[in-house]
Chain A
């Protein structure tokens, strides 16, 4: 009976670890999709009604509690502060889901937001979209490949542990 319980515990642990790794890939992909969506929202809002970056950011985050919304809320609090540095923006992008390079791009984008005229702003956003596109595509592939694999391996490892201990 004890062996069966240990086996079940190992099964749960392995399954959970697999699920955790898979969730990391999924969250990372979702975050990048959301960032791309944010760039879309900025482009649309700026080019047509020329709404302020604060209004657009608030409109995009809404009541959402996802990782992107958390980062953008940190950015909104910087806007409330008045002036802020690139370093502050980099700190605002803190998340384990993005690499240092990706955080830097996002921080640069947030820092440059609203600091230039309409044409320059739109062309800058286009450039940032181009920088995020390959990263998002790669995150999608990784999620499909490793995310599902990690989950399956977790379940398999759990089953193996269960069989061995039982």
Chain B
């Protein structure tokens, strides 16, 4: 529960002002008002005296201590990548001062802002994707951040898995599966295996060789290297479902780096509003046109 992560004062404010079921994000910035989002709508909740609550450095330290389980050594790599993954799939975006070692970002210190994101499993949210499920091929889910790509991907994985496909989820940040002690707390279907905290590059290589998947699912493709890996997997005959940040298919494929995705992707699923599929573009149909 998110309340386990937060200091008592903030927990009380959330209890009195928000509906936990609709809470999607909590933002803590040192010396700035506490900000929360319910289904993407931000507001600053007030304490019992009607005042906005200003986040202190101690609040941030408390969250960091609890989120790292007082064991920075175990999560330093995550911290250097700007996030912390907690139980129940809660992901904390972290920003502060970077500390470099041998020219590489080694860790973060003087953390000043935290963005706590609460994952939701919404059964049925991928109901518009039956067409793809029935004739499955490489699929990209495209939207700007915070539109529900991960939630739809999770549901899509569950549906495909329940259809009997062996799906391997490469969950770099524990967002998709929300594993607790290695066990997914989100329902990803009966035939899904999860590779947790492995980088996409390592994961792709290991998984294709060892787990013999029908489909590999992964979140947030970023950069040339990951695209090259996906291309390689596609060549192996394993299907891919992935998400990527972009406004829409056109703007994605206009980019010099990301246009290479078109070489092996058949379906482009666009999300225009929070959790709403606004377009499904099939490359085969576009070709015919």
- B43 to chain A: closest CB distance in Å? 26
B7 and chain A: residue at smallest CB distance: A82
Task: Say yes or no: is B76 at the interface (Cβ < 8 Å to chain A).
Answer: yes
Please pick, from A54, A82, A83, A115, the residue contacting B72 in the complex, using a CB distance under 8 A: A115
A117 and chain B: residue at smallest CB distance: B76
**Mask of B157-197 contacts with A, CB within 8 angstroms, 1/0:** 00000000000000000000000000000000000000000
Complex CA gap A83/B65 in Å reads 7
Chain A residues closer than 8 Å to B74, beta-carbon distance: 46, 50-52, 114
Assuming the contacts A82-B7, A117-B107, asked whether A53 and B69 have C-beta atoms less than 8 A apart, the reply is yes
B73 and A114 contact, CB distance less than 8 A: yes
A53 and B107 contact, CB distance less than 8 A: no
Task: Say yes or no: is A9 at the interface (Cβ < 8 Å to chain B).
Answer: no
Task: Say yes or no: is A113 at the interface (Cβ < 8 Å to chain B).
Answer: yes
Task: Say yes or no: is B68 at the interface (Cβ < 8 Å to chain A).
Answer: yes
B69 and A114 contact, CB distance less than 8 A: yes
A82 and B62 contact, CB distance less than 8 A: yes
A110 and chain B: residue at smallest CB distance: B70
Task: Say yes or no: is A166 at the interface (Cβ < 8 Å to chain B).
Answer: no
Chain A residues closer than 8 Å to B58, beta-carbon distance: 83
Task: Say yes or no: is A6 at the interface (Cβ < 8 Å to chain B).
Answer: no
Count of chain A residues near B, Cβ 8 A: 18
B73 and A117 contact, CB distance less than 8 A: yes
- A136 to chain B: closest CB distance in Å? 25
Complex CA gap A92/B62 in Å reads 19
Q: Which of A107-122 contact B (CB under 8 A)?
A: 113-118, 120-121
Chain B residues closer than 8 Å to A51, beta-carbon distance: 71, 74
A83 and B61 contact, CB distance less than 8 A: yes
- A79 to chain B: closest CB distance in Å? 5
- B77 to chain A: closest CB distance in Å? 9
A114 and B66 contact, CB distance less than 8 A: no
Complex CA gap A120/B73 in Å reads 8
B69 and A83 contact, CB distance less than 8 A: no
Question: Can you name 16 extra interface pairs (CB under 8 A) apart from A53-B69, A83-B58, A115-B72?
Answer: A46-B73, A52-B70, A52-B71, A53-B71, A54-B69, A54-B71, A82-B7, A82-B62, A82-B65, A114-B69, A116-B73, A117-B72, A117-B76, A117-B107, A120-B73, A121-B72
Chain A residues closer than 8 Å to B73, beta-carbon distance: 46, 50, 114, 116-118, 120-121
- The B contact surface, by secondary structure, is helix
Chain B residues closer than 8 Å to A117, beta-carbon distance: 72-73, 76, 106-107
**Mask of A48-71 contacts with B, CB within 8 angstroms, 1/0:** 001111110000000000000000
A49 and chain B: residue at smallest CB distance: B74
Chain A residues closer than 8 Å to B66, beta-carbon distance: 82
Interface size class of B (residues with CB under 8 A): 10 to 19
Q: List 19 A-B contacts (CB under 8 A).
A: A50-B73, A52-B69, A53-B69, A54-B69, A54-B70, A55-B69, A82-B62, A82-B65, A83-B58, A83-B62, A114-B68, A114-B69, A114-B70, A114-B71, A114-B72, A115-B70, A117-B72, A118-B73, A120-B73
B181 and chain A: residue at smallest CB distance: A55
**Mask of B50-83 contacts with A, CB within 8 angstroms, 1/0:** 0000000010011001101111111010000000
**Mask of B106-145 contacts with A, CB within 8 angstroms, 1/0:** 1100000000000000000000000000000000000000
Chain B residues closer than 8 Å to A118, beta-carbon distance: 73, 76
A116 and B70 contact, CB distance less than 8 A: no
Chain A residues closer than 8 Å to B69, beta-carbon distance: 52-55, 79, 114
Chain B residues closer than 8 Å to A83, beta-carbon distance: 58, 61-62, 65
- A29 to chain B: closest CB distance in Å? 29
B79 and chain A: residue at smallest CB distance: A117
- B75 to chain A: closest CB distance in Å? 9
Chain B residues closer than 8 Å to A54, beta-carbon distance: 69-71
